[in-house]
Amino acid sequence: MKTVLVLCGGRSAEREVSCVSASAVLRSMPAGWKPSLVWIAPDGAWHLQKDARALAKAPKPEKHRFDRVRVRLEPGSPSRLVWAGRSLVPDAVFPVLHGPQGEDGTMQGLLDILGWPFVGAGVLGSSVGMDKEVSKRLAVHARLPVLPYAVLTEPGGLGAARRLRLPVFVKPARMGSSVGVYKVKRAADLGAAVRKAFRFDTTVIVEQGIEAREIEVAVLGAPGAAQASVVGEIRPNAEFYSYEAKYLDPDGAELLVPAELTKAQAAGVRALAVRAFEVLGGYGMARVDFLMDKRSGKLWFNEVNTLPGFTAISMYPKLWGAAGLPFPRLVGRLLDLALRRGRSQARLRITRD
């Protein structure tokens, strides 16, 4: 029986969503894996859940009993999780974390140092995927279709943003789940939206808005052998697919799986998703989001999410379920990929010939 350490919570504004995702992952743990759960509190402290099944039933960490845990570094071997006279060396880690200090490469770097194989992209792929400005710059370099955008590093520097055609979307560069995202339809409202977005990050992206369909694809695997799921579409019942529409309003959006596309369109989207996954350093999993112009049908790369939501209604597991890969098998595949990468890294030399 292999052990997997499921991480949830964290210090970002998306920590509550993380716990709901972790609950779904725990309910779908495949045979052969024994989960242990660590909740990372808002202050950064790590707490071990005695019974991982408890969170699987009720994703409210503060309502469950935890033990404070610490990590003990073991030179030359994987580190140990220590608590109450006991210790654990996990075979793999599933960081079900969203937002800064979860999917931006910082946690991935820590797990590398600890010697624990983990699910999802590595340090570079995670940080690139989290940073909308860097991912767009690399996408443009790779000649992926990207809508015009402006990068702001201070609230008052609106010159480049004002040259974009309205409406525009204002976004923190390194945030997910539509936290801090605002749609601006009047030039007079741009400054206020930018100031609000700067509450969440030191860099803000202003993107050209279009009348678009929101198209999403789930990618699974390693570079060179990654596969794309069926194509899905999100039809928000509001101005855009906001945080409230994603997680708070049960009628916030209609999820179409598969999307209403021709075979040629779907094949093109899937191929472009795998291309974006590889260009941006993906590994294991990612949800690649596109915008499709409602008039011309032209496809635009929007962003890649290296640790997508894993709730019961999240698009990543739903897309793979529609492709014939149910939730437990999906989790199993992701854990197998984590072990495979861990074995590859363990073979690397750390001394000269």
* Closest to 120 (Cα-Cα) out of 350, 351, 333: 333
Catalytic center residues: 14, 177, 247, 287, 289, 303, 305, 309
Q: Which residues in 124-149 are b (16+ Cβ under 10 Å) and which e?
A: ebbbbbbbbbbbbebbeeeebebbeb
Residue 320 corresponds to which tokens in the numbers above?
A: 């793979």
> How far is residue 332 CA from its own chain's centroid?
18
CA–CA dist 305, 294 (Å, integer): 23
Look at the block and give the residue holding tokens 């309502």: 63
Separation of alpha carbons 4 and 92, rounded Å: 5
N-terminal to C-terminal alpha carbon distance within the chain: 37
Q: How many CB atoms lie within 10 A of CB 113?
A: 11
Minimal CA–CA distance to 54: which of 36, 81, 31? 36
